[in-house]
Structure 1
Amino acid sequence: MPVPDPRSLDFAALETLRLVHTLGSFTAAAEVLDVNQSAVSYTIAKLRSCFGDPLFVREGGRQVPTERCEGLIAHAQGMLDTLDDMVEPDTFDPANSEHTVTLACNFYERILLIPKIVAALRAQAPRLRINVINSLGDGHLRLLRREADLLIGPFGRAESGFHSRRLHEERYACLMDPGHPAAGKPLDEAAYLSLNHILIDYNGTWKSAYLKEIEAAGHTLRPAITAPSPAGIARMVAASDLVATVPRRMGEAISDGLAIRESPFPGTFDISVVWTARVNASARHAWLRERVFAACR
């Protein structure tokens, strides 16, 4: 069987390569492309023959890229980005747009910001499809992999390739039952550390700023309970001796009669919107960012 000429490859083949690389699965790539898995397998087989490399090897249930594949992806990404820039219109008509926009964020933003953002977007672009995904601790990678258009949260990026804009400042506070002995008095460091804490550890993907302050002061928080997410925290705190340290605005939104007290370790941080330099000049993305800024102002 003759080896295919690499010049016969098209952008669709490169997009398939990129999707398998990003998703680690032929099946997942086929679902995104809305084709049969056999079509993805055929394309990867053609690419393997063209470049004389397996490109992917199966490890632990995932398709893991070879070193040669990583090099090809670096080149393909630039070409695909250029193609996207070429077909991106200079103007954007939100009233008639049927694009899909993807916002990466976590629980805080879904509670406090996403409802306002969705309302603002739909008011001007009723046909727009909005996809909200978890950012966890690596949301910037989702931007680079083009899995998201915007990243919203405590993720301001200063390095080359990213832009960011601050939405507001946030600080941590203590959420507790109003009958808790500590609910009626200020908390100093010793009193705070002696409480029965619920620690939200985000499955190890993120370390909260107040924890960094505690460690910087030479202390260690020893929680009574560890949870992966703030979801359900208010119910756990209610009618108990437990205390949860959460961002203050979120605490106010979910408190439902619980007491909120200042923390001696406020861990002040910023909530920001982040996007890549690649989409900075796009009319569609500029419109999206302005609507988000206006909704969250």
Structure 2
Amino acid sequence: MSAYPQTLAPVLDPLTPVQRDAAMALGRVLVLAGAGTGKTKTLTAGVACRIQMYGMRPSQILCVTFTNKAAQEMRQRITTVLGEGQAPFWLGTFHGLAARQLRAEPEVGQLRDGFDIRDADDTTALIRRLMKAMDPETVPEPDTGKKCDVRQVKKMGERIGRMKEDLVTPEAAPAWVRGLIERRRAARQMVDVEGWEFAVRLYQLYQAILREQNAADFSDLLMWPTLALMHDRAYRARWSERFTAVMADEFQDVNRAQMLWLTYMSEYSRELFAVGDDSQSIL
């Protein structure tokens, strides 16, 4: 068993020897284990080790969970072990942390200081309003035969969200959808050509309204910072150099935008610690 400071005993002692070694390891670490085996506890211990054993500042550790509840529990546990003010300042959900990043430099999303964040009800209402205002002949016919019904509005919202999760901007959407249609046809899969082409037009109108209102939806919060990290080397350096370690919970559930965000944010430190259950992967 590796030696460690007694202050870390409350987070390290409950772990198995393998989990303990993983929590104390540096570099790129991936912990795969089943449900209920202590993955989040291992991540919490990993954060505490970096602060207590390796002298990393809490303000320079980026720690991502999937729920606010999990983030709060992790913060409380680290505080209990290390003391007040010792939990990472950048500890939260993907979208919560990315929103702080976007607030710092809103121009990467063609936004201005003080932009509003639209919740799910707001975005659904906007999509419904836009669909009702469009030429009825261009709106795809849903199974119910009713234009702009609840399911149709939801489907279009999901498709816009899908494009944003894949980091597809409104300008890039036509080419992306053509590629999607071609791939599905080549694989002899059914594809809703009319519906996807309509989703592209709707997405462009929808995003134009958000920009006009200086607003972002939930998916924008991660999409715009991630695109900036990908394409702007100075921006990427500016953000990745802030952090000495990047930690991620529920790694099996990350989508493309989240994976790239983690990768680029850890580019400078090369310290990426992730825990997940590959048997529960959504991919």
Do these two structures clear the TM 0.5 threshold for a shared fold by scoring above it? no
Relative to its length, the structure with more helix (as a share) is 2
The higher radius of gyration belongs to 1
After TM superposition, the score normalised by the length of structure 1 is 0.25
User: Relative contact order: is structure 1 or structure 2 higher (C-alpha 8 Å, sep ≥ 6)?
Assistant: 2
Relative to its length, the structure with more strand (as a share) is 1
